[in-house]
Amino acid sequence: MKWVVLFSLLVVSAFGQSANSNANPFERALTVMHTDPVSHYKPATTQDKLRWFVSSTVSPSRLLIAGPISAGWGTLRDVPSEYGTHWDGFGKRNGMRLTGVATGNLIEATLGSAWGEDPRYFRLGRGGLGKRAKYVVKTTFLAPDRSGRWRPAYARYIGNVGNNFLSNTWRADSEANTSNAIVRCVWGVLGRMTSDAFAEFWPDIKRKVFKK
């Protein structure tokens, strides 16, 4: 549960000082989560959502960086212990992570289509580091509707929670429980936040470092 506490502190530190402390909780929530609509927004087509699903599930950065790091850390710690610390265990951990990511993304894309929730990340691309970092954190919990206005990303919440609890049915016994599922949900949000931060800042880093 320490990760739940750490995650809560991260979100509070990113949002907390921007709201009026004299306002009621509902007004504070609106102030904290307010983000300007996406400029020149065009609703996602079926092809856009398919491309998002593929890139968010099996993009090179996820297959060659995020997946191996997660599986390697689990193998080093021997978690779950049923998989062992050999290459076979590494492969099982990597595969388990991939099935969870794919399931969550599929839930988000399909459910979101029902009420017009766009799963894509839209770069801010301007302003200082702090402003853009807060944008990344806030939009982890928000998604554009059909008009380009940000709304709570309900399909994303359901996808994250749903895949982590659903996967208890096929996970190793030692991690197929509620407490582990909750921790995985927190990691899922942090993973999404990290991915969005990469999308936000990498083009600037690439341009400055590689002159592209």
Q: Contact, 200 vs 110, CB < 8 A? A: no
Residue 181 and residue 25: Cα distance in Å, rounded? 29
Quickly list DSSP for 178-196.
HHHHHHHHHHHHHHHHHHH
What's the mean pLDDT in 132-144? 94
According to the model, what pLDDT value does residue 30 have?
47
Q: Contact, 111 vs 130, CB < 8 A? A: no
Q: Contact, 156 vs 108, CB < 8 A? A: yes
Of 11 and 125, the one with more pLDDT: 125
According to the model, what pLDDT value does residue 60 have?
77
Residue tagged 């936000």 (tokens): 200
Residue 84 and residue 80: Cα distance in Å, rounded? 8
The two tokens of residue 94 are 């990597």
With the C-alpha atoms ordered 19, 28, 124, 59, is the resulting torsion angle positive or negative?
A: positive
According to the model, what pLDDT value does residue 64 have?
80
Residue 152 and residue 131: Cα distance in Å, rounded? 20
Local structure of 143: helix, strand or coil = strand
Q: Contact, 14 vs 27, CB < 8 A? A: no
Burial profile 146-156: b = 16 or more Cβ within 10 angstroms, e = fewer: eebebbebebb
The predicted-structure confidence for 28-50, as pLDDT tens digits, reads as follows: 554 556 688 998 999 999 999 99
CA 88: distance to chain centroid? 27
Cis ω before 68 (30° cut-off from 0): no
Residue 9, pLDDT above cutoff 70: no
Residue 82 banded pLDDT, cuts 50, 70, 90? very high
Residue 127, pLDDT above cutoff 80: yes
Residue 144 and residue 37: Cα distance in Å, rounded? 8
